[in-house]
Amino acid sequence: MSDFGNKTVSSYIKDYYKNIGSIAPERIAEREFGFGSFANRIAVRHTVFRNDSELRAYLIDTAPLHVDYSAAYYKHPEAPMDKKEWLGSELRFDIDAGDIVKLPCRIEHGKEWSCDKCLDAAKEEVIKLIENFLVPDFGFSTKEMEINFSGNRGYHVHVHKESVLSLDKPAREEISSYIFGNEPDYDAFFYTVRIDPRHEKQMGPRPSDGGWRGKVAHAFLNAASSKGDLTSLGIDKTTASWIFRNIEAVRKDINQGNWDFHPIPNRKEVLVNLLNRQIINQGNRIDKGVTNDPSHLMRLPNSIHGGTGLAAKKVPSLAALEIFDPMKGAVAFKTGELKVRVDSRYKLSINGREFGPYKNETLELPAYAATYLYLKGLADILNSN
């Protein structure tokens, strides 16, 4: 990082805001805004704007590295926290590739970098969040949601349905725990019924059940079509083979909620294990802190992310998300070249081109690649005069 590099990035940010259309969120005058600089991620808070042109004038004038706005609407957004008078908050979800466990590429490239695989994994989690939870379990329609690329290695989902606005912190905590899938209550999933003095029958969830019960039953039947998947859920090999061979009969039983299809040694232990693993596999790795806090500040859609130089691009629909490539679609600094010295062991794929790795090399790169590497701390921007 250098004065010259910072100034260059700032001038690109200024140009970006000069050329962008409207950037104001809904109900702009009731939101709190915060801004970050090179020195400080959140340097300014409690700022207000009456309309889009006021906000844009500020962005062009100050070229902030980060722009955040509140999930909350306030009567006095400019006041200190205890004087703001809360009117309601959107429900927000933050999915970051850094929180997704078991991403093999992260072991290769470490925490500081993100690759196409990280971005695809984050996208998959967002689709899962919407399709497996927000729509079926909470009854939100995709029209009541906004999907935004975070500008770095994840996505944000905002729900602005009227009925969520008044939810307090405990209600938001309940929602995030449900989606995260913490500590399932065994008795809410499995129970036994006595059929005669010597036998009891194992009952459990049906795929047609709502919420987590249906998800667990579905996932079990999906796993049952492969022996390897069943053993990875903790079922012994012999039982797994039997289930695999008799899948149609097993499916029929489970459709009725009958989990007594075959004698399983240590049944309860196996079922507890299966339940925990299913819930870990299917729970969504949202950042609970973001969802739980009604006054959280989050990056403004379509603003520049100061850690990458990419735009936190709004994605218009779930269908658009399926084909969205952030390393193309979120490129903001499209024109110009910059002279840089780069030392990076990573290959950067951006705007349909590949750059690097570079071993302490001096060269000219397109502005989007140069600023990305500079903001990741892997390059210096050099004065070419």
Binding site for Zn ion (CB under 5 A): 105, 115, 117-118
Q: Which is nearer to Zn ion, 44 or 105 (CB)?
A: 105
Output 140 or 149, the one with its CB closest to Zn ion: 149
Antiparallel, parallel or unpaired: β 199-203 and 145-149: unpaired
- 156/312 Cα distance (integer angstroms): 9
Minimum distance between the CB of residue 154 and Zn ion, rounded to whole angstroms?
A: 12
User: Which residue number places its CB atom closest to Zn ion?
Assistant: 105
- 68 vs 125, beta carbon nearer Zn ion: 125
The candidate with the shortest Cα–Cα distance to 210, out of 132, 157, 124, is: 132
Q: How far is the CB of 119 from Zn ion (least distance, A)?
A: 8
Q: How far is the CB of 349 from Zn ion (least distance, A)?
A: 11
Phi, psi of 85, deg, nearest 5: 65, 90
- Judge whether 164 and 318 are in contact, CB under 8 Å: no
Helix-strand-coil split of the chain, %, nearest 5: 40, 20, 35
Q: What angle, rounded to 10 degrees, do the helices at 247-255 and 237-245 form?
A: 90
Tell how strand 86-89 and strand 66-70 pair up: unpaired
Report the nearest approach of Zn ion to the CB of residue 327 (Å).
12
Identity of the residue, 35 or 155, whose beta carbon is nearer to Zn ion in the bound complex: 155
Cis, bond preceding 205 (omega within 30 deg of 0): no
Q: Which is nearer to Zn ion, 13 or 122 (CB)?
A: 122
Q: State how far the alpha carbon of 89 is from the alpha carbons of 72, 83, 161, 293, in Å.
A: 4, 16, 10, 9
Minimum CB separation of residue 97 from Zn ion in Å reads 7
In whole angstroms, the minimum distance from the beta carbon of 103 to Zn ion comes to 6
- Nearer to Zn ion by Cβ, of 133 and 346: the residue is 346
Integer Cα distance of 248 and 241 in angstroms: 13
